[in-house]
Chains A and B, each alone.
Chain A
Amino acid sequence: MAFAITSNAIPLPIAAVPVVEVDAFRRDVLTAIVAGGRLLLLIGLPGDGRATRLLAAIADDARGAIAVCSTDVTDAYPALTPDCPSAHYFEREIAEQYGIEPEGHPWLKPVRFPLGGPTIGEADFYSVAGSEIHEVAVGPVHAGVIEPGHFRFNCHGERVIHLEISLGYQHRGVERALRGGPDRRSLYLAETVAGDTTAGHATAYCQLFEGLAERECSARANALRVIALELERIANHIGDLGALAGDVGFLPAASYCGRLRGDVLNLTAELNGSRLGRGWIRPGGIARDIGSDELRELKRRLSDAGRNMRNAVDLLWKSSSVRARFENTGVLRHEAAADLGIVGPAARASGIDRDTRRDLPAALYRARHPTITVGDNGDVFARALQRWREIEHSLGFLADVLDDPGSGTTASAIPSLAPDAVILSLVEGWRGEIVHLAVTDAAGHFAHYKILDPSFRNWFALAFAMRGQPIMDFPLCNKSFNLSYCGHDL
């Protein structure tokens, strides 16, 4: 099989990526997936002349390797989706961005909006017919202070037969704006891919940058990045547990968790000046070192916060009325989660043992990573419990990191980037695996930049989890995934 093998944040010369015929490409990719690989991404790149280059990356989680191959297509090619369901969303995106038809794709419709086609929100919505069927349309303007997205429920009474999700309202051309970089804006664009995953996307961008320059950060800088990432994970998870409680009207946990999220954000702000960690992580290191007094204080405060979180979350697990709402709601079975190729805590709650920190680690995670556990049921309860376990593991892991934060300079200059290279940078953000891919041109500038927020791969899982559910449980299911709209729309 014709693959170029690389790993997280290791650049490949673009010439080393094999370009094969479409049939061979299709056969190779499917063979690799049958052999236990996982479709990491499948994207289109501008090719030679009229052709579009399809590039597939397949992760071998057991070996920590990423296999890359490509092919040139024009107009149409036989779709991968019928044999590899996790390609379905990627192929829809390729079709809308490059006008190439994946032949045999079971359900080809735009991910955001097609080139020259109708605008956002105007799509050929799937609808169920029948005299007792009704459609409920929600959004893009919502009652709460959340991002815009359109949801269309085909319902029979209170039961949802199918949910259509239509996104794209937050499209702002991030990937296009990153082309031609890196420049002074690039880091800030990466940080704002999804505001709640600032540290995640900033780390992915910096790892990519440093990988292309073939520089490594000091152990100290890597440890501080891990602190930023894990604090972000804890803050978001505890906030979401509170929001889950709020959605079922369970006020005590909702109030306490909301406050505790604020505590963790404030800790982040004390370390770097921004509650979301903006501007902390930089190519070459980190903007601000932490003194040993501060580290000790951080450890103490985290241990306090951990105790408070345990008390607050115990209210959730101990309340039978809450468990009655969480259990068996929005079940995403293991097979469905595996087929859809979803990532992050949502995947682990469905029993998929997958975590970038362990499987495809970079930087500090190569040396050590938190305990990784998986759930089994795939319902709202499993996802909530998974979030809580990850908080606990992150707290324990942070305590270790704070005991031994390494040494070295926290900021180093980065020379120019490798020309004509392709690189994949993966980070386990709080929502799941973040992938940044860059292709550089002869001058070492980004010729192409592709960002995969975990939301991109998980949105469809939400639609899947809603099948047969009471429509009233949608907000609860939605919150248990808590996906990003802007991270999807880019």
Chain B
Amino acid sequence: MIKELTISVYLDHAASTPTRPEVVAEMLPWLTDHPGNPSGAHAAARAARRAIDDARDHVAALVGCGPGEVVFTSGGTEADNLAVDGVVRATGGVPVCSAAEHPAVLAPVEDAGGMVVPTDAGGCIDLEALAEVLTSVDDVSIVSTMAANNETGVVTDLEAVADLMAQCAPQALLHSDAVQAAAWMDLPSSAHRAELVSLTGHKFGGPKGAGALIVRTGVSLDPVIRGGGQERERRSGTQNVPAIVGLGEAARLVVMEREAMIQRVSALRDRLEEGLIAKTLGVNRTVPKGFVRAPGVSNVCFKGIESEELLFLLERAGIAASSASSCASGAQEPSHVLAAMGIDRVTASGSLRLSLGHASSDADVDHALAAIPPAVEHLRACARSL
């Protein structure tokens, strides 16, 4: 009577990746054997401190910064909040972000009376519009723009943003939410101009509950969470040692394996996307040609269907995917990212995000290519018969 649902094909890595077994193995002793608080003075405390500092080294290597510039947080949202609120608290001024930012950036920017800059058709911050803001507002303190978008995978040229800022608003700091980019992009070269960079472990094989904000030396940033002064007074609270250890191990694996992973997953993503387009009528890539995308994400729009219905049928076929973002109730919300790209609401309601990662395989792509086109055709036939 009750169907036991087994998701066999996981195409939602952009929401969260499976935790890698190597990561779990590194974390486990810190859940079972070591009680120490890293701020303590005895051997157990020192062991915990050493563990998170090893993790700090790995995260620093991932981003290309010094270990002292890594501030551990509970995840990407806290890192984004800390970047915007921390700069505004320390220096005042107007925060600015793109319209396609994650709500973890948009909300603090809007709450601080900041400005939201439109995007281009690919969903990247519009440089002309940004230039206008930076020249007309003289006290912009922070510009926040994503390295890779969570819904579409589109990659922003941070170098160009930094050049523009150097020209028009040298006082402003560049923050980049690299939560989705960390698995795919060489941050030491692509994000080196950003003074602030957000990360979270569970998007690249780490556990949920540990992330980091990179705060380059010399940046003025006031804490949001205050208390015992951990993380060099920038984020109080006892560190989540097991999760931070997991974050560090995941970062280490990304640095080691990224090139091979990019090759493998790009090929899978392209085969999936090209297969869908070949086997289905009325489907378009959401990001126009000519824009660079992170390898793991494919966002497509199917004409004449609603993705809420498609996702239901895909779940029945053992496929976990998503459309836009989910609200607190669990309902799918119309995507603000697609709206920022100028995609109308009806088209956007047929969007599907398939995101691949370290756990994806050829069999996953085969299964998706067998299941998705008939599901789309079924829904279109139902809509036609009304």
A binds B: no
